[in-house]
Structure 1
Amino acid sequence: MKSIELGQIDLNLLVAFEAIFEERSVTMAAARLYLGQPAMSAALGRLRTLFGDELFIRVGREMQPTRKATAIAPGIFAALHQVRQTIQASQDFNPASDRRDFAIGSADYTSFVVMPKLLDHCQAVSPHLNFRMIEFEKDRVGELLEQGAIDLALGVFPKPSRQTHCLPLFQERFVGIARKNHPALLQKPLSIEKFASLSHVLVTIRGDTTGEVDRVLADRNLQRRIALTIPHLLVVPSIVASSDLVATIASRAASYFSALDAIEVFELPLEMTSWTVSMMWSKLADRDGANCWLRQTVKQYARSDCHA
């Protein structure tokens, strides 16, 4: 049996078949599809050639389907339904009713400052949406976005990948945290030399032992002692609160930690530049309705944070 190439089939013929089958009239089918009767008659002729069967025969005032037409109808209807669903899903995204899992590439800092408000919003208006937060290596973020492993990424991206878009969300800066009544903080103002002499916690997902603070101190011929490196920001307050270690962290996170009775936030005695936290997504998903909604919602709640 000779195989039929899909590229040779006009999808409109299947739509015409559906209309004639349901209307039992070439005239009514033409009106349903906003076609002239000659055009619909021509489509029926092409359908008969394609399937090698009359498909519809006039019986009285109706066009009755042949046995072959009745046999192929369920498959044609199912195929058209699938095509319509696929097209509809690509165009429309209803956060109030759609069920969808989103994967967001994020370190614990960006998850900490963005996700609580985002989830609070979604629980109220998008109860069927689920989220997965995934840590990532910065040099792989473009690959992960292109593969669809993550829907978007949050972080600092000074050199965005070529096939991505990058949108700034907010500015951040460093501050220090220490335990209440830390002896170094009782001596005010805190000098840069005293600050460098303290034992420090460095939060780093790369596992290195040098941060931006160290580069600034090096310009002043100073060096600090990194007593602990750790990839998880959220454990830092408990470590700092129970020791003489201090940590330099982003101000948004520090403002939350300052609510703890045991933690004090202090200004650093050195000049440090602020940085931009951004959102990155693949150009392949730029027009996707669900991705557009996610980006807009993340932007809204990231920028609305009162601790910026």
Structure 2
Amino acid sequence: MHISRIDLNLFAVFDAIYAESGITRASRKLNLTQPAVSHALNRLRQLFGDPLFERQGHAMIPTPLARSMIGQVRQSLRGFELTLNGAASFDATTSERHFSLGLRDVLEASVLPPLMAALTAQAPLATLNVAQVSRRGLESELAAGTVDAAIDILLPLSNDIRRVALGGDRTVVLVRHGHPSVKKGRLDLDTYLALEHIQTSSRRRGPGLEDMELSRQGLQRRIRLRSQHYYAACHVVAQTDLALTMPERLALILNQHFKHQLLPFPLQLPALDIYLYWHANVDTDPANAWLRTQIRGQVFHCVTGSAVATATAEPVTQ
């Protein structure tokens, strides 16, 4: 069927129902009535000879055909959006662009302050929305334009996803001042293994990078507490003899409040490299390119340590 015979607005409805898992929520998102959205869905069903969505409880669940279509539909809609919004030009000083950045919560404290300072100075009318995107769904979110860019560790993504390294981060160990097992600010491997530890992760189970390195050497530490957030874990460190292993960059920021001892991890670990990701379909989009430039200019210094150079924590020495 030729595209001239198809109402392309139907695909915007398809995307909204897919994203919102329901006709009512899709109608609110599109500012249309529920009957109008239902009518559009019926036309799509006739066009493809497939129900596309089936009701399960209060949710509309996509069929296998709908799942196979969504990536290409979202990429096409994104292309139309860029064209209609004047992708050939971008003036940061006057733009009211709403940027969306995929970012894990562990990176927010180090990434957002310098990035927002840059946006406030250079794009006073622009806004930024930050959300944690699942690594499994990152590629489809970038393709759809639901996030403009993302910052994360190195991930196995397709060639449609562009990436550039921002820098690396070391691993350090935090213990409270006056800890009875840590003498003169030194932490050897035997002492580390004799301590009880906090593991911080958003996952309910599974080892950390430090645990995998220990396991490779036939070693294991004792995890006494598994927590979700480093800030809470730092509070626990202040009131116990537990040790916390974490990325140095965030440790330096948090430790401005806690004044714990920051010690090198007693094994050689590779630096945890951080990458900036975006989709090939926005390679030449001036607004997206501007955002990437700000991230690389501000976050690169943040990742390599200069953004926390004024931290009052004890320096980490090798």
Q: TM-score range by the shorter chain?
A: 0.5 to 0.7
- 2:95 aligned residue: 98
1:153 aligns with 2:165: no
User: How far 1:133 sits from its partner (Å)?
Assistant: 1.2
1:119 aligns with 2:104: no
Secondary structure class of the residue paired with 2:205: coil
The 1:143/1:88 distance shift into structure 2, 3 A limit, reads closer
Secondary structure class of the residue paired with 2:256: coil
User: How far 1:209 sits from its partner (Å)?
Assistant: 3.1
The 1:87/1:235 distance shift into structure 2, 3 A limit, reads same
1:233 aligns with 2:230: yes
Name the aligned partner's letter for residue 236 of structure 1: A
How many residue pairs match? The answer is 227
- 1:161-210: CA deviations, max 9, x gaps? 33200110011111111222222222664231221222212222333331
With the length of structure 1 as denominator, give the TM-score of the two structures: 0.68
Structure 1: where are the runs of 5+ without partners?
Answer: 7-82
Distance 2:182 2:136 in 1: 38
- 2:268 aligned residue: 271
Name the aligned partner's letter for residue 182 of structure 2: L
Secondary structure class of the residue paired with 1:168: strand
Distance 1:287 1:235 in 2: 42
Secondary structure class of the residue paired with 1:269: coil
1:210 aligns with 2:172: no
1:136 to 114, 133, 138: 133
Counterparts of 1:10-89 in structure 2, within 5 Å, are: 89=86
Name the aligned partner's letter for residue 206 of structure 1: R
2:294 to 293, 297, 304: 297
- 1:81-104: CA deviations, max 9, x gaps? xx9x95672111111111121111
- 1:195 aligned residue: 192
1:255 aligns with 2:255: no
User: How far 1:232 sits from its partner (Å)?
Assistant: 2.5
User: How far 1:289 sits from its partner (Å)?
Assistant: 1.3
Tell which deviates more after alignment, 232-241 or 208-217.
Answer: 232-241
The 1:175/1:299 distance shift into structure 2, 3 A limit, reads same
User: How far 1:141 sits from its partner (Å)?
Assistant: 0.9
Distance 1:113 1:161 in 2: 28
Indicate the percent of aligned positions where both proteins have the same amino acid: 23
Distance 2:271 2:170 in 1: 4
1:287 aligns with 2:284: yes
Tell me which structure has the larger Cα radius of gyration. 1
1:246 to 243, 247, 250: 243
Please report the RMSD computed on the Cα atoms of aligned residues, expressed in angstroms: 2.3
Secondary structure class of the residue paired with 1:105: strand
Q: Assess if the C-alpha contact under 8 Å between 2:182 and 2:191 holds in 1.
A: no
Secondary structure class of the residue paired with 2:87: helix
Name the aligned partner's letter for residue 294 of structure 2: T
The 1:127/1:166 distance shift into structure 2, 3 A limit, reads same
- 1:110 aligned residue: 107
The 1:176/1:127 distance shift into structure 2, 3 A limit, reads same
The 1:91/1:233 distance shift into structure 2, 3 A limit, reads farther
- 1:240-274: CA deviations, max 9, x gaps? 22222211111111122332344221111112111
Distance 2:151 2:259 in 1: 30
Structure 2: where are the runs of 5+ without partners?
Answer: 6-79, 307-318
The 1:179/1:170 distance shift into structure 2, 3 A limit, reads same
Tell which deviates more after alignment, 220-229 or 267-276.
Answer: 220-229
1:307 aligns with 2:279: no
Name the aligned partner's letter for residue 87 of structure 2: S
Tell which deviates more after alignment, 288-297 or 132-141.
Answer: 132-141
Distance 1:261 1:141 in 2: 34
Secondary structure class of the residue paired with 1:222: coil
- 1:186 aligned residue: 183
Secondary structure class of the residue paired with 2:156: coil
The 1:98/1:155 distance shift into structure 2, 3 A limit, reads same
